[in-house]
Amino acid sequence: MEQILEQAGYSLRKERGSFRGDECIMEGNKLVVVNKNKPIESQLGTMGRVLSQIDLAGVYIKPAVRKRLEELWDQLAVTPEESPEDFELE
């Protein structure tokens, strides 16, 4: 997912703190910040959520990876009241 974010023009930062993680634009740079203190599943959930919100038309994603992303995006669409920390990737 990190490579997909980079191909889409985003930088990834893993920081510690009491935040959930999301995307932002800082000084003109597109940035995704994930919480280093959260489990890897939560970090992947944050990256997956951000990827679901951006245009990936010009980004090559391996078919197996795209399938897993689409499964995650379906989970996010079905249960929007839950946070990304509630999703586990197998």
Average model confidence (pLDDT) across the chain: 85
> What would the pLDDT profile of 33-42 be if each residue is shown by its tens digit?
999 999 998 8
pLDDT at 78: 60
Contacts of 90 (CB under 8 A, 6+ apart): none
| CA 38 centroid distance within chain | 13
In the predicted model, what is the mean pLDDT of residues 47-59?
90
**Distance of alpha carbon 47 from alpha carbon 44, whole angstroms:** 5
Q: How far apart are CA 83 and CA 41, in angstroms?
A: 12
Single pTM value for the model? 0.75
- Domain segments of the chain as ranges: 2-86
Q: Would you give the DSSP letter of residue 78?
A: H
For range 64-84, the mean pLDDT: 74
Beta strands in the chain (DSSP E): 10-15, 21-26, 29-35
